[in-house]
Chain A
Amino acid sequence: MNEKKPAIVCRCSDVTLEQIRDLIRKGYTSIDEIKRITRAGMGPCQGKTCGPIIEREIAQITGSKIESLAQHRQRGPIKGIKLGTLAAGGDHKHEE
């Protein structure tokens, strides 16, 4: 439209649609690759927002079906957790 305003794909790490499309055109055609370059999907929501958008963009630009794309790994922890809590790791309360 008028002046260029970014369309945000990953709100956790401020990654734009333009960045994602550039990468796909350069040949980075999996969510995991794009994640490692841009950090899209590594924020608090762990890809819940950007994942489906990136999948669709990859499919559209590469002319393939979403179902034929490589599935991305969904590693734990699913949400942010304090290191202390994780390290205390067990059945007793974490002491401050």
Chain B
Amino acid sequence: MKNVDIAIVGGGPAGLCAAITAADLGAKVILVEQDDALGGQLVKQTHMFFGSEKQHAGTRGIDIGTMLVEQVESNPNIEIMLNATAMGYYPDGVLGINQEENFIKIKPLKMILATGASERMIAFPNNDLPGVFGAGAVQTLMNVYGIKPGKRVLMVGAGNIGLIVSYQLLQAGVEVAAIVEGSPNIGGYLVHASKIRRLGVPVLTSHTILEALGDREVTGAVIAKLDEKWNIIKGTEQTVVVDTICLAVGLTPLTELIDQGGGKLAYIRELSGYVPIHNQELESTVSGIYVAGDLAGVEEASSAMVEGKLAGAVAAKALGYKPKAAEQIIEEAHQELFDLRSGPVGAGIRAGISKLQEVRQRC
């Protein structure tokens, strides 16, 4: 059994920032990452970030990742566990970790869960044909391993991920036949959508995929128009010739560990599904377990980093490490989150967070 001040599960933007902040304040931290490298989704984000200077706006996601990983690696208070998957959290406060052929138990005083989110899929005929990908998988193939997923792609979903991955496909020399989006509006930032439109890719709102075509692999897709009640309008079906269908239809927070730890969940559509009920200092309904990043509600990497910082400072402060310095970081983080979520693009998140606070008061 390993004892430690703070165990952090997930080495993405939230987990990395939580580790750096808590360790800088003096806490001993174990950072658990299931992949063979730290960085989470930052490693494939070749685009520049928005936000303010504090969240490294203007820097590419991958470079932010490299910088954070260097800070984590050089911090003597942080023990990094790679290829290590948290398998379960038990009622006696023990976290079970599978690292290669070992099962390791950790009993931390505090825990920060930054497990992120998984990609949503949709069910349509032939969706198991080779050539149907999640957008995250396409991004990993292209940007991490340098492999093109195909020659011509239909993108499903015009949120930020759908738009950004479409652009990156074009950059890699892959044709994007069209982007279909079920809702009448483009969900992602207009900046990203404009880039795509300038390159001549049609963004078909109120459209959906009906089925994938092909015998052994994708050779096309049938798409159709939707009415305002999301019913398919007969006669609008059309076939697009593509060898790849890329699904960017949203993410779902990974709540298994917090659920096993007894943390209560609430379904908040604006936060992308079931999320752990938590207070403004990111503490779940279980004392001493904090949540940060997409797990706390799917947002952007910039807010994930700030939430990581916030959770790291709150956990370290609760253990008595430099409470004054921690308090200052907490205040700064609150302000940064407020700024990131202000304006029209933050409206959904703000609504989700206020719903979550209502639920929290009731339970």
Indicate, yes or no, whether A interacts with B: yes
Residues of A bordering B, CB below 8 Å: 1, 4-9, 11, 17, 45-46, 48-49, 51-53, 66-67, 71, 73-79, 81-82, 84-86, 88-91, 93-94
Q: Does B105 touch A at the CB level, under 8 Å?
A: yes
Residues in B whose Cβ lies below 8 Å from that of A71: 265, 274
> 4 closest A-B pairs (Cβ-Cβ)?
A76-B88, A67-B267, A77-B87, A5-B125
Q: Beyond A53-B123, A66-B267, A89-B103, is A74–B118 a contact (Cβ under 8 Å)? A: no
Q: Does B222 touch A at the CB level, under 8 Å?
A: yes
Query: Are A76 and B89 neighbours in the complex by a CB distance under 8 Å?
Result: yes
Chain A residue nearest in CB terms to B273? A52
Interface size for B (C-beta < 8 A) is 41
The CA-CA distance from A52 to B267 in the complex, in Å, is: 12
Query: Are B123 and A17 neighbours in the complex by a CB distance under 8 Å?
Result: yes
Q: Does B145 touch A at the CB level, under 8 Å?
A: no
Q: Does B71 touch A at the CB level, under 8 Å?
A: no
From A4, A9, A51, A67, give the contact of B123 (CB < 8 A): A9
From B1, B2, B101, give the contact of A85 (CB < 8 A): B101
Q: Beyond A49-B121, A52-B273, is A74–B98 a contact (Cβ under 8 Å)? A: no
Q: Is the interface of A mostly helix, strand, loop or mixed?
A: loop
From A5, A73, A77, A82, give the contact of B211 (CB < 8 A): A5
The CA-CA distance from A45 to B124 in the complex, in Å, is: 19
Query: Are A52 and B120 neighbours in the complex by a CB distance under 8 Å?
Result: yes
Residues in A whose Cβ lies below 8 Å from that of B210: 1
Chain A residue nearest in CB terms to B274? A71
The CA-CA distance from A84 to B98 in the complex, in Å, is: 12
Q: Beyond A1-B222, A76-B87, A76-B88, is A90–B98 a contact (Cβ under 8 Å)? A: no
Known contacts A76-B260, A93-B102; can you find 9 more A-B pairs with CB under 8 A?
A48-B118, A48-B254, A51-B252, A82-B101, A88-B102, A90-B105, A91-B1, A91-B2, A94-B101
Q: Does B41 touch A at the CB level, under 8 Å?
A: no
From A4, A51, A89, A90, give the contact of B125 (CB < 8 A): A4
16 residue pairs of the A-B complex, CB under 8 angstroms, read A6-B126, A7-B211, A8-B123, A11-B121, A45-B118, A48-B252, A52-B120, A67-B267, A71-B265, A81-B98, A82-B101, A86-B98, A89-B103, A90-B104, A91-B1, A94-B102
Query: Are B124 and A7 neighbours in the complex by a CB distance under 8 Å?
Result: yes
Residues in B whose Cβ lies below 8 Å from that of A67: 266-267
Q: Which of A48, A66, A84, A89 has the most CB of B within 10 A?
A: A48
Residues in A whose Cβ lies below 8 Å from that of B222: 1
Q: Does B255 touch A at the CB level, under 8 Å?
A: yes
Q: Mark B80-108, 1 if CB is under 8 A from A, else 0.
A: 00000111111000001010011111000
Q: Beyond A67-B266, A76-B260, A86-B103, is A7–B127 a contact (Cβ under 8 Å)? A: yes
Query: Are B259 and A74 neighbours in the complex by a CB distance under 8 Å?
Result: yes
Query: Are B104 and A91 neighbours in the complex by a CB distance under 8 Å?
Result: yes
Residues in B whose Cβ lies below 8 Å from that of A94: 101-103
Q: Does B256 touch A at the CB level, under 8 Å?
A: yes
Q: Which of B60-88 contact A (CB under 8 A)?
A: 85-88
Residues in B whose Cβ lies below 8 Å from that of A84: 101
Query: Are A79 and B126 neighbours in the complex by a CB distance under 8 Å?
Result: no
Q: Beyond A76-B260, A77-B88, A78-B85, is A7–B125 a contact (Cβ under 8 Å)? A: yes
B245 to chain A, nearest CB (A): 13
Residues in B whose Cβ lies below 8 Å from that of A78: 85-88, 256-257
Q: Does B35 touch A at the CB level, under 8 Å?
A: no
Residues in B whose Cβ lies below 8 Å from that of A73: 259
B105 to chain A, nearest CB (A): 7
Residues in B whose Cβ lies below 8 Å from that of A5: 125-126, 211
Q: Does B199 touch A at the CB level, under 8 Å?
A: no
The CA-CA distance from A30 to B259 in the complex, in Å, is: 17
